[in-house]
Amino acid sequence: MTLEFTTTQATERVTDEQLAKIHEAPGFGRVFTDHMVSIDWTLEDGWKDARVEPYGPLAIDPAHAVLHYGQEIFEGLKAYRHEDGSVWLFRPEENGKRLQRSAVRMALPELPVEDFVEACKQLVRADEHWTPSGHEQSLYIRPFTFGNEVFLGVRAAHSARFMVIASPVGAYFADGVKPVRIWLSEHFNRAGKGGTGSAKTGGNYASSLAPTQEAFANGCSQVLFLSSLGDRHIEELGGMNLVLVKGDGTLVTPESDTILDGITRNSLFELAEHLGHRTEMRPVTIDEWQEGVESGEIVEAFACGTAAVITPISEIVSPDGSFGWPDQEPGEVTMKLRKALTDIQGGRAEDPFGWMVQVTEAKA
């Protein structure tokens, strides 16, 4: 049985004038819409009390499990406004399924996928006018679940809450897509075998912050993590998957159970195959990448994820030196795939895969 949602309207709402200002320069994840979704869970009763309510602070008990043992998982997806005024989600069921996989690993309750998708739709509808219509703008949706039992014992919490909040976001690259330099972390790893690398959980991000500071200090904007086994296999960035492009158009992405299973990466691979590219998901070493750049076999590389879609990579930087394409414009395949995917998401191209899910009707 699917959950029934109740709605409590926010009394304080953004005015049209304020919203127009926000949409002029939304930034990323700083301003939140008027409402939020909450669904409570207890071991005894399961999921209950699904509701849309005014956005606002939570009362946190200092003994809540999440504050001490980090029992938390999250998702990220976007709502897009199409030219006719209708609003659509991109593959929300995939996010719902992944939240379930993360829940299993972090001993949190699994929300049924239908309820996950309905929760996202309810929030987008409640705050309908918050989805911007500008170029590459969208409404970023952040579902998450955390253990909120008041108990310091170390075991899975017997109560939890699922929530959805949303924030309008602008084009990630405001002045055109620019390739970024990536720091190769030699001392830190992101995930270990049997660890939580394939779960979308806050702890993975917490542990990536110190290496990211190291990246910033070295003039880079992101970190590339290698496998913790010392085999020099490349994994991913702190929050984005990695794809290499060969001269013959073949796309290569690392395969390992320590990597987050990215929906953007999987969609790009399906799209690339549809466009006639070969794709390979297999272990790749940093040496294969470097030698491939030097021999001319590997001609482009990019990072991908929901927030920025595709970010071209110009250089890999480490204490021992750097390699890449420091002076190159974004690669041809990189930009072609970026356009193909963002055109489907923005409703400017056919959606042969049935990825888009409509949330609101076209405006007359």
Is-contact 245 284, C-beta < 8 A?
no
What residue type is 235 in one-letter code? E
What is the rounded distance in angstroms from the CA atom of residue 130 to the CA atom of residue 141?
12
What is the rounded distance in angstroms from the CA atom of residue 297 to the CA atom of residue 339?
24
Nearer to ligand PLP, 159 or 241 (CB): 241
Query: According to CB under 6 A, which one of 19, 126, 263, 333 is a site residue for ligand PLP?
Result: 263
324 binds ligand PLP (CB under 6 A): no
Task: Choose the stretch contacting ligand PLP; rule: CB under 6 A; options: 46-54, 57-65, 247-255, 261-269.
Answer: 261-269
CB under 8 A, 24+ apart: contacts of 112-116: 112/2, 112/47, 114/2, 115/2, 115/3, 115/39, 115/47, 115/50, 116/92, 116/143
What is the rounded distance in angstroms from the CA atom of residue 75 to the CA atom of residue 322?
33
State in angstroms the smallest separation of the CB of 10 from ligand PLP: 28
246 binds ligand PLP (CB under 6 A): no
State in angstroms the smallest separation of the CB of 241 from ligand PLP: 5
Query: According to CB under 6 A, which one of 159, 241, 256, 334 is a site residue for ligand PLP?
Result: 241
State in angstroms the smallest separation of the CB of 43 from ligand PLP: 28
Element (H, E) at 125: helix 113-126
Nearer to ligand PLP, 35 or 265 (CB): 265
Nearer to ligand PLP, 96 or 305 (CB): 305
Element (H, E) at 197: none
What's the sign of the alpha-carbon dihedral 204, 209, 214, 216?
A: positive
Nearer to ligand PLP, 227 or 306 (CB): 306
Lay out the site mask for ligand PLP across 162-201 (x = CB under 6 A, - = otherwise): --------------------------------------x-
Nearest to 303 by CA among 249, 260, 344, 271: 260
Task: Choose the stretch contacting ligand PLP; rule: CB under 6 A; options: 142-150, 177-185, 234-242, 279-287.
Answer: 234-242
Nearer to ligand PLP, 131 or 208 (CB): 208
Task: Choose the stretch contacting ligand PLP; rule: CB under 6 A; options: 5-13, 109-117, 238-246, 338-346.
Answer: 238-246
Q: For 247, phi and psi rounded to 5 degrees?
A: -55, -30
Task: Choose the stretch contacting ligand PLP; rule: CB under 6 A; options: 41-49, 116-124, 233-241, 318-326.
Answer: 233-241
Q: Hey, how many other C-beta atoms are within 10 angstroms of the C-beta on 76?
A: 17
Element (H, E) at 24: helix 16-24
State in angstroms the smallest separation of the CB of 206 from ligand PLP: 12
306 binds ligand PLP (CB under 6 A): yes
CB-based contacts of 201: which residues, under 8 Å, 6+ apart? 70, 72, 73, 74, 102, 105, 106
Look at residue 226 and give its three-state secondary structure: strand
Look at residue 6 and give its three-state secondary structure: strand
Query: According to CB under 6 A, which one of 260, 298, 299, 316 is a site residue for ligand PLP?
Result: 260
Give Rg (Cα) of the chain. Answer: 21
239 binds ligand PLP (CB under 6 A): yes
Judged by CB under 6 A, the chain residues 265 through 284 that form the site for ligand PLP are: 265
Task: Choose the stretch contacting ligand PLP; rule: CB under 6 A; options: 37-45, 213-221, 263-271, 310-318.
Answer: 263-271
State in angstroms the smallest separation of the CB of 200 from ligand PLP: 5
CB-based contacts of 176: which residues, under 8 Å, 6+ apart? none
Nearer to ligand PLP, 85 or 203 (CB): 203
Size of the site for ligand PLP (CB under 6 A): 14
Query: According to CB under 6 A, which one of 70, 76, 85, 202 is a site residue for ligand PLP?
Result: 76
Footprint on this chain of ligand PLP (rule: CB under 6 A): 76, 200, 204, 236, 239-241, 260, 262-265, 305-306
